[in-house]
Chain A
Amino acid sequence: MLTSILDVLIAGLLLGGLYALIAMGLSLQYGVARVFNISHGEFIMLGGMATLTLFTVFKINPLIAIVICGPITFVLGYIIHRTFFRHLLTSLPIFGEITILCTLFLWTVFRILADYNYVRLNQFAALAICLVIAIILDFALNRTAFRRIHESRVAAGVFESTSMLFSFGLMFIIKNIAFIGWGPSIRSYSFLQQPVSIAGALFGMNRLVTLGFSILIGLAFYFFLTRTRIGKAIRAAASDPTVAQLMGVNINQVLALCFGLGAAMAGIAGVLISMCYPVNANMGIEYTIIAIIVVALGGLGSIPGSFIGGFALGIIGSIVSFFEPGLALVAYYFIFGLLLLIRPKGILGK
């Protein structure tokens, strides 16, 4: 009996570490950058699928994949914020966004036409052509129509809903590019699966590695926020963007940085998830839901709250799964509903 309780608790901690990591990323994006990022799970999926490819095709160790996927998702998130979300924030179109959207659109149209045999062209040549057309269009629009638009900060409430809807679009884009690239099949690889015994219970080495990394990244992040200059700027921006700007913080830079960091955390979480669970291009939404519930549980925007909330939810999930394996998500939801009725601010909300 005692061992099974311990069993469940440790399993809960292992799950909780992942949840905490996922939720901290979302919390950073919402708490500072004010983007309720529904595409969060897609960055997790990108991390997971990329790791799988790196491991199975290039034989790269998943632990090294962390160092590859983290920075890549960071840059991706950073660019997305610097273009699209900054546009939504300041209502000023930014050079680059049309390039990205238009390239994707033209390339899609090309692939459809190629499938009907209307066009015969090398894929890479086509991509290059799409890119060139998109850049020219971007350049032309920025020199003509967009020149008349003046910068004006959008009200917080408006940005909250437009940015959420935009992240919707982002979710569709990322997910379907992944489907096109990797296909819909569910895949997994085995890595560090030798069992380790903790207090009589057996756990896979990979699970312990993920927990270790989650805690490590959580702590590193905590020190980054409290001890470094950029970290302090981020906290200042989170509590009051206007004042932070007056104090000399480059607010746009900080917001983009936070969004990028959130995306990087999702990417790394994806790497860790792929070590333990099967992955596929459709996995994102499930993790988005969990991240959202954890974030609400911990208090919207509170990063320590997300950390604690993640472990709390992991343990609850593990306990519920012990009795009724199918009901974990239902239990999370039940707690979420209860929370909204009793304390909508969340555990550590202000």
Chain B
Amino acid sequence: MNKISFNYSKLLLPGILLAILVVLATLPLYGSNYSIVLLTSIIMYVILTVSWALFSGSTGYISLATAAFFGVGIYTSAILGRTFTASILANEYFVVFIVIIGGLISACLAFIVGAITLRLRGIYFAIFTFGLVELIKNLLLWYEVKFTGTRGRFVVVIGNETIYYVILGILLLLLLVTYFIRRSRYGLALESIGEHEEAAAHIGINVTMVKVIIFAISAVFVGMTGSIMAMRWTYIDPYISFDPNLTFLPVLMAIFGGTRQMYGPIIGAVVFAYLEEILLTRFPYYYMLIFGIVLAATILYLPNGLVGVVQKIIARLAGGKHAHSRG
């Protein structure tokens, strides 16, 4: 019974995923401009949430640095965009180039942070990453006031459709990378670290290295997303770029969805990103308040998130049928 339902879901999920991707890819052909903007923002949250869960979901090391990597991406994009003129930017390959650079710089930052903190207990990692976004914000503010004399800078803006396709590309890449990491020996290593780090080290896993590298990989996608999203705003400054909420929201979304499965964070992100779209502009504080309440309730009552509940119900239904057929 167990085996049958396993195979079934194995076929079903990639199928659904493929169908969704086809719809998403063709959306600009028939969708409204609003739907593209809305989906861009939802996809952004999905990327941030899935990247967070890629590392933190399996290892249990709670990263609070998402906003920092995102901000680094934004600034990379702003600086490079200014350096090259708008005419070059019209070339879409160049946009992709900037996005890749943004991702790589974020990964370097993650690598350094990981090398300092991931040798230590998880709590130090959480503490260190918690303040990272404020640190970079403060450094940039100081630099801008002292050396350029102005706060913030203008970004070269490109079309919504280009942004949409690039961000969809990042999402696709992320999902592929996550899928293959989870299936590979490194995915197994990550899970073993989450379950018993000491035992993992004693069966030959270079635990620090695995953690640092996967953390850096997860930062690539956050940085890339920051780089492309920057091109949607005309003006950015350290306060806009390094918004701590972009750390908190993905964590909450992932936990709400459930981190044990790959699609848990996706569902969490879609639900809340959509809710944000409805509520944020009119009720910013109520939206955040609901967020806090839902997070609190999830941690208290649904330790495996929404997906955990669904799985439990499915297991119970399947188990019930099984018992019935046997009886």
- Using CB atoms and an 8 Å cutoff, list the residues of chain A in contact with chain B: 36, 38, 84, 87-88, 93, 97, 101, 104-105, 108, 111-112, 115, 160-162, 164-166, 168-173, 175-177, 179-180, 285-286, 288-289, 292-293, 296, 300, 324, 326-327, 329-330, 333, 336-337, 340-341, 344
Contact = CB atoms under 8 A, between A and B. Distances in A.
Contacts of A172: 248, 252, 288-289, 291-292, 295
Say what secondary structure dominates the interface of chain B: helix
Interface stretch (B7-15, B91-99, B119-127): B119-127
A34 B285 CA distance: 30
Say what secondary structure dominates the interface of chain A: helix
B128 interface: yes
A164 B279 CA distance: 27
A107 B175 CA distance: 38
Contacts of A101: 293, 296-297
B292 A170 contact: yes
A104 B297 CA distance: 12
Contacts of B128: 336-337, 340
A168 B293 contact: no
Interface string B2-33: 00000000000000000000000000000000
28 contacts: A36-B127, A84-B300, A88-B299, A93-B300, A97-B300, A101-B293, A101-B296, A105-B293, A112-B286, A165-B251, A165-B299, A166-B300, A168-B252, A172-B291, A173-B296, A176-B285, A176-B286, A180-B286, A288-B130, A289-B130, A289-B131, A296-B124, A326-B142, A327-B139, A327-B142, A330-B139, A330-B142, A344-B124
Interface of B: 60, 62, 116-117, 120, 122-124, 126-128, 130-131, 134-135, 138-139, 141-142, 145-146, 244, 248, 251-252, 255, 279, 282-286, 288-293, 295-297, 299-301, 303
Nearest to A105: B293
B248 A168 contact: yes
Given A175-B288, A176-B285, A300-B123, 15 more contacts: A84-B300, A87-B300, A162-B299, A166-B296, A168-B248, A169-B295, A170-B296, A180-B285, A285-B134, A285-B244, A293-B131, A296-B127, A330-B135, A337-B116, A340-B116
A340 B125 CA distance: 10
B292 A160 contact: no
B242 to A, nearest CB: 12
A157 to B, nearest CB: 8
A326 B293 contact: no
Contacts of B130: 38, 288-289, 292
Contacts of A93: 300-301
Contacts of B117: 340
Contacts of B62: 161, 164-165
B49 to A, nearest CB: 14
A114 to B, nearest CB: 11
A324 B142 contact: yes
A176 B289 contact: yes
Given A108-B286, A108-B290, A296-B124, A161 B297 contact: no
Contacts of B293: 101, 104-105, 108, 169, 173
Nearest to A285: B244
A166 B135 CA distance: 24
A176 B142 contact: no
B56 to A, nearest CB: 10
B68 to A, nearest CB: 12
Contacts of B295: 165-166, 168-169, 172
Contacts of A105: 290, 293
B292 A289 contact: no
Nearest to B197: A157
Contacts of B139: 327, 330
A152 B14 CA distance: 38
Contacts of A170: 292, 296
B116 A180 contact: no
A168 to B, nearest CB: 7
Contacts of A337: 116, 128
B287 to A, nearest CB: 8
A188 B316 CA distance: 58
A215 to B, nearest CB: 26
A272 B286 CA distance: 29
Contacts of A36: 123, 126-127
Contact of A327 (B134, B138, B279): B138
